[in-house]
Amino acid sequence: MIASPEPVVEGHSLVVPKRHCGDYFEMSEKEILAVNELLRVRRKELLERDGGIKGFEIMTNPGNAVDYLGHSGVHLIPIIDNYFEGN
């Protein structure tokens, strides 16, 4: 789990599997379960830190869509009051 290199809001986090995967669908079931657990842990941390979060968006990118990784990742993006103004 890392902070997104290009966050759209504060708390925007990124889970990147250790094994290189071209996209979400190349991940094994075990990797998907591990990613989901990390997303749940991070969600809880963010909610405890900021009670103003309205929900979360989960997004995946294929590795070739993001030059800074060249590796598939799963984004956890907190939805806050002004989230949709810039997105």
Domains defined along the chain, listed by start: 2-85 (3.30.428.10)
Q: Specify the pLDDT at position 54.
A: 93
Q: Specify the pLDDT at position 83.
A: 56
CA-based nearest residue to 77, from 48, 54, 64, 27: 54
Q: Specify the pLDDT at position 30.
A: 95
Sheet holding 73-79, edge to edge: 2-3, 13-15, 73-79, 55-61
The pLDDT tens digits of the residues spanning 18-74 come to: 888 888 898 999 999 999 999 999 999 999 999 889 999 999 877 655 545 567 889
Q: Specify the pLDDT at position 80.
A: 87
Q: Is the pLDDT of residue 1 over 90?
A: no
pTM, to two decimals: 0.81
